[in-house]
A = this chain, B = another copy of it.
Amino acid sequence: MNRRPVPSVSSSPGAAGKTGGDCLTCALRRQPAFKPKPEEQIAFIREMKVFHRHLAAGSEIIHQGEVDAELFTLFSGWAFRHRTLPDGRRQILNFLLPGDLLGLQANMMAAAEYGIEALTDVELCQFPRNGTSRLLQDMPELAFDLLWLGSREERLVDANLTSVGQHTARERVATLILSLYRRCAHLDLVKDNTFQFPLTRVHIADSLGLSLVHTTKTWTYLRRMGLFTVEGGMLKLLDPRLTSRWAQTFDEDWVQRPLL
């Protein structure tokens, strides 16, 4: 089953600047992964952005149960979305990378039924509490982008559920690594098959529905099988094709994606 004590809430206020980065010259936006956006829409988004916020690793970005949550775009760093049961068991639903939208679901519903926590130090572009409604009201051209981002997140959860429900432990770990590898590659965060891998064993276990101990054993097994090496927080996939075979998964379509 896999029960752990309820952890103490870590919450750091975090630094905030009114204009950490100007949306019009956004470095992230220049990535080829993102769909170019009309300048008028970017200006509108800049107008609506209330903060450019820095948070330390481990900070809670959205609390489970929070009412009327804010909307964010993850500008840099990693985060994860999770549901925690009253007895402390935690399921990580999906991981979040730069360009991902945080809190859309919570923004639509009365209360957030999930929490979001920073996995590394992160930078966030923060929008107001009623962000979604205002976006739809004043710039309906952005509705498609919101729907797209929501659909994509659901697809991530679908894939993870399929992995947790149907895959063996080895397949699950391989699938997770491969999935993160591909997402990082799409963001140009992979050099020489190597990318930053900030997850601890606990994150992997909670994401895949495995115990911590068995996660370690499976991880070690796959590493010794020659799937990858780890050094200084960087993971190198030795043979993406081989990993793909282990993962028992299919490719997805990688198209240019919207960035709010």
Please report whether the interface of chain A is mostly helix, strand, loop or mixed according to DSSP.
helix
Q: Shortest distance in angstroms between A67's beta carbon and chain B's nearest beta carbon? A: 10
Binding site for B on A (CB under 8 A): 1-2, 83, 85-87, 89-91, 93, 104-105, 108-111, 113-114, 132-133, 136, 140, 143-144, 146-148, 150-155, 157-162, 164-166, 168, 206, 208-209, 248-250, 252-253, 255
B1 touches A93 (CB 8 A): no
Alpha-carbon distance A157/B157, docked complex (angstroms): 7
Q: A104 — which chain B residues lie within 8 A by C-beta?
A: 147, 151
Stoichiometry (number of copies): 2
B109 touches A166 (CB 8 A): no
Q: Shortest distance in angstroms between A108's beta carbon and chain B's nearest beta carbon? A: 4
Residue from A105, A132, A158, A208 whose CB has the most chain B CB atoms within 10 Å: A158
Given contacts A150-B154, A164-B164, 10 further A-B contacts (CB under 8 A): A1-B166, A2-B166, A85-B249, A89-B166, A90-B166, A105-B155, A108-B148, A113-B159, A143-B143, A165-B206
Q: A93 — which chain B residues lie within 8 A by C-beta?
A: 158, 161-162
A91 touches B162 (CB 8 A): yes
CB within 8 A of A85: which of B110, B160, B166? B166
